[in-house]
Amino acid sequence: MIWGSLPNLATMLLAKTKGLQQAAAARMEGRPEAAAAAYLQVLALDPADASSLRGLYYLQIDASARQELLPQLRQLIEAAPPHSLGLSLLAHWLRDDDPEAAMALNRRAARLGLPAWRLAAGTDGGLPEVLILGAPKSGTTSLAAYLAGHPRVWLHPLKELHFFDNHWQRGEAWYRAQFPALRSPGLLRLEATPDYLQNPETPQRMRALMPEARLIVLLREPLDRALSWLRHMHSLIGLSGDAGALLADEADRLEAMGRAERAAMGWFRPNALSGSLYAEQLRRWQAVWPASQLLVLRFEDLALHPERVLHRCLAFLDLEREGLPAGRSYPAHNVGVAPSQPIDPALARRCREGVLAEALELWTAL
């Protein structure tokens, strides 16, 4: 069934909503193949549906299931008008079986929508001039969208590429293929992967590959971020358990570590408190990146005064404010819908005065 064949718009929207709900439920229940099938049903209605395209990109399904579903995905993507997110998804699914075709699709996706005068004749692609490093659940999606509203900023359609943490083995050529090759430096290419901030190997990798890049970090009140992360993991992968019990267990394990061990730590399941250890994380970046190339902001300031924070970013990137559309609004993006679970005030105090104390001091001082 295709977009135009439904009897009316209301019926189509109802079918899309039902399909996305089925995908979310299957994902939370640990049934990725069922989630993929539901996403594909939505794409049969609307091949440009961003929620389904992103959901399929980040969905963890095994190679055999991907191979079974690939012909259907390929048919839907190739029959629709060219769409950068769809081409990126198809390239992602083809990456192991046909890497050359995948690279060509990535290059094509990167060039879509850009005027010919901006594009260089070569096909090698490029490297981003700007990266948003994190932290997760700290407004990175919103800030990336606000920056993308400037005519001199090109945001990767996926936003998160995870090259420096999860896909480093794919090599520089793969990363370059994700970005347009530009005729002049007038356009800034932007990627935003919130997990970069915490990965211990990323600062050195990024510095070696692109030493002139400018980096932006958003930090949220550390315990609030931890709780938001738990809600996110509940809706994303069906993480079970009471928030208080999960935090208490993670606090126990973190407190049992030495400071050096915590300072060198990357992902630490469920990564709620450990994802908020900002002082340790930032020290790794400050050890190899000059302060002039690192801008650290607060999520709360972005939420309350988005235009003011955006102007700080534009000044940091040497971009003029006049390029922004007049009367622009700043809606929040990627807002969690799961209700917050209250935790024992004694546990909150223990976290803020214990493993999160240094992060809270850093965040307060921004």
CA angle 98, 189, 39 (to 5 degrees): 50
Place of tokens 């302060």: 291
> For 153-201, what is each residue's pLDDT tens digit?
999 999 999 999 999 999 999 999 999 999 877 899 999 999 999 999 9
Task: Give which of 48, 39, 57 is closest to 77, Cα–Cα.
Answer: 48
What average pLDDT is seen over the chain? 92
Contact call for residues 141 and 159 (beta carbons, < 8 A) = yes
Tell me what pLDDT residue 3 has: 45
Report helix, strand or coil for 17: helix
Sign of the torsion formed by the C-alpha atoms of 303, 307, 311 and 317: positive
Least confident of 154-163, 215-224, 316-325: 316-325
Neighbour-count burial for 266-276, b at 16+ CB within 10 Å, e otherwise: eebebbbbbbb
Average of per-residue pLDDT across 248-269:
92
Q: Which of 257, 290, 289 is nearest to 273 (CA)?
A: 257
Q: What is the pLDDT of residue 2?
A: 46
**Residue at 124: amino acid letter:** D
What confidence score (pLDDT) does residue 6 get?
47
Q: What token pair was written down for 138?
A: 């700290």
> Could you give the strand order of the β-sheet that contains 294-298, starting from the edge strand earlier in sequence?
153-155, 188-192, 130-134, 214-219, 294-298
Q: How many CB atoms lie within 10 A of CB 265?
A: 17
**Two tokens at 202?**
């990323």
What own/partner pairs with CB < 8 Å and gap ≥ 24 does 356-361 have?
A: 356/222, 356/223, 356/226, 356/273, 356/276, 356/277, 358/277, 358/278, 358/279, 358/280, 359/219, 359/222, 359/276, 359/277, 359/278, 359/279, 360/221, 360/222, 360/223, 361/279
Closest CA to 61 of 37, 85, 97: 37
pTM more than 0.85: yes
Provide mean pLDDT across the span 53-64: 91
pLDDT in tens, 77-136: 999 999 999 999 999 999 888 999 999 999 999 999 899 889 998 768 899 999 999 999
Mean pLDDT of 214-220: 98
**pLDDT level of residue 347 (50, 70, 90 thresholds):** very high
What residue ranges define each of the domains in the chain, with the CATH number in brackets? 3-113 (1.25.40), 130-365 (3.40.50.300)
